[in-house]
């Protein structure tokens, strides 16, 4: 019994491994079994097939339960012994919920030489997601999130599909506005630019600025301090304009406490706090950074602002007269 337990723990530590006796075998592994919320994990799916067999589906979708695929790396194909072929699929994934979560099984689809379809599953992989709050930091003011009470006369809740449609419309409208501004920027009068700025919501203004910062490619040039300074400025302006907080005069920890007291979404708080804290290290402590981490900070900020833009549109719709 003890030998079986040890063997099971070894298999879990390596990821999920399928039997290699059949014509198609799969193995799924991750490079980290524990991360802080939003940090990337590298997922590798290795599929080996006999001659004549073809892979029709890697089994990895855009979202996998609690996990979101950040990037799909081009697969590698190699020939191995006994005429078998090895396919290696790699992905960068992450999760935005704290706790003990499970990456679901991956169902790899294939086709036999006779044209018959088949599926080979992997096992689930447990992963621990922790908070960005550092050891020793005070957490007395952090309370569990509670749903808001609904009044009898409150408007009906908007279904999830409607929120997703609203998000798509917001993104499309913002992209159209950015294209129009780019084409007419050289010929526009300053007052026209000011008017367009007023028409955008705080989250939309932050998204436009974050996209501009991403296009500069500062991390690739080693200019981390400047990169994080622009990110921090955009996020502080968003917090100031949307929630009316004194964001520019506060340290990252002080601003996080203000946002917690204001009842702001905790995932949004965690993302903003982590980026501001990284910015402080990059600007004042000259900490060693990497382009990939700096780029991930931009993507995390953009994801948070997209969700905030949907919330803004929902608030606008609730405020309109029926």
313 versus 95: which is more confidently predicted?
95
Q: Is residue 94 predicted with pLDDT exceeding 80? A: yes
Q: Is residue 30 predicted with pLDDT exceeding 90? A: yes
Q: For 49-82, what is each residue's pLDDT tens digit?
A: 999 998 888 888 777 788 888 888 888 889 888 8
Q: Is residue 211 predicted with pLDDT exceeding 90? A: yes
Amino acid 4: pLDDT: 41
Contact assessment for residue 98 and residue 39, using Cβ atoms and an 8 Å cutoff: no
- Threshold 0.85, pTM exceeds: no
Q: For 232-247, what is each residue's pLDDT tens digit?
A: 999 999 999 999 998 8
**CA-based radius of gyration for the chain:** 24
Other beta carbons within 10 angstroms of residue 100's beta carbon come to 9
Q: Is residue 165 predicted with pLDDT exceeding 80? A: no
Of the chain, the percentage scoring pLDDT greater than 90 comes to 30
Contact assessment for residue 303 and residue 210, using Cβ atoms and an 8 Å cutoff: no
180 versus 274: which is more confidently predicted?
274
Sheet arrangement for strand 125-130: 34-36, 125-130, 99-103
CB neighbour list of residue 37: distance below 8 Å, 6 or more residues apart: 95, 96, 97, 98, 129, 130, 131, 132, 267, 270
CA separation for the pair 121, 27 (Å, rounded): 9
Mean pLDDT of the chain: 79
- The full DSSP string for 125-164 is EEEEEE-SPPTT---TT-----PPPPPTTSPPPPPHHHHH
Q: Is residue 179 predicted with pLDDT exceeding 80? A: no
62 versus 190: which is more confidently predicted?
62
Domain boundaries, the chain: 17-130, 160-319
Contact assessment for residue 241 and residue 202, using Cβ atoms and an 8 Å cutoff: yes
Amino acid 136: pLDDT: 62
Contact assessment for residue 16 and residue 33, using Cβ atoms and an 8 Å cutoff: no
Other beta carbons within 10 angstroms of residue 210's beta carbon come to 22
Of 144-158, 189-203, 294-308, give the lowest mean pLDDT range. 144-158
Strand partners, 67: 64, 95
Amino acid 70: pLDDT: 85
The H or E element spanning position 45 is strand 41-49
Q: How confident is the model at residue 10 (pLDDT cuts 50, 70, 90)?
A: very low
Amino acid 31: pLDDT: 94
Q: Is residue 22 predicted with pLDDT exceeding 60? A: yes
Amino acid 135: pLDDT: 61
Q: Can you state the angle between helices 291-319 and 266-284, rounded to 10 degrees?
A: 140
CA separation for the pair 119, 56 (Å, rounded): 10
Other beta carbons within 10 angstroms of residue 42's beta carbon come to 14
**Domain at 17-130: CATH architecture:** Sandwich (2.60)
Q: How confident is the model at residue 322 (pLDDT cuts 50, 70, 90)?
A: very low
Q: Is residue 177 predicted with pLDDT exceeding 70? A: yes
């Amino acid at each position: 019994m003890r030998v079986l337990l040890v063997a099971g723990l070894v298999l879990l530590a390596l990821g999920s491994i399928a039997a290699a006796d059949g014509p198609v075998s799969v193995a799924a592994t991750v490079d980290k079994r524990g991360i802080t919320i939003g940090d990337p994990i590298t997922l590798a799916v290795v599929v080996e097939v006999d001659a004549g067999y073809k892979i029709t589906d890697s089994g990895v979708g855009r979202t996998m339960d609690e996990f979101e695929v950040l990037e799909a790396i081009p697969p590698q194909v190699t020939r191995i012994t006994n005429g078998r072929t090895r396919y290696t699929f790699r992905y960068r994934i992450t999760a935005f919920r704290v706790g003990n979560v499970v990456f679901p099984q991956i169902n790899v689809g294939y086709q036999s030489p006779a044209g018959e379809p088949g599926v080979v599953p992997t096992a689930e992989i447990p992963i621990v997601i922790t908070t960005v709050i550092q050891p020793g930091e005070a957490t007395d003011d952090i309370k569990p999130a509670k749903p808001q009470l609904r009044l009898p006369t409150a408007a009906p809740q908007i279904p999830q599909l409607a929120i997703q449609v609203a998000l798509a419309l917001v993104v499309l409208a913002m992209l159209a506005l950015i294209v129009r501004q780019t084409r007419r920027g050289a010929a526009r009068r300053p007052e026209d630019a000011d008017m367009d700025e007023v028409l955008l919501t705080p989250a939309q203004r932050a998204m436009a600025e974050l996209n501009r910062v991403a296009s500069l490619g500062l991390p690739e040039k080693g200019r981390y301090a400047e990169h994080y300074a622009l990110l921090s400025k955009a996020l502080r302006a968003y917090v100031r304009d949307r929630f009316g907080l004194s964001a520019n005069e506060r340290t990252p920890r002080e601003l996080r406490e203000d946002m917690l007291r204001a009842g702001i979404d905790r995932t949004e708080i965690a993302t903003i706090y982590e980026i501001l804290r990284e910015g402080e290290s990059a600007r004042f402590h000259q900490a060693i950074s990497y382009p990939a981490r700096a780029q991930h900070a931009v993507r995390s900020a953009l994801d948070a602002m997209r969700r905030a833009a949907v919330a803004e549109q929902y608030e606008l719709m609730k405020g309109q007269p029926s």
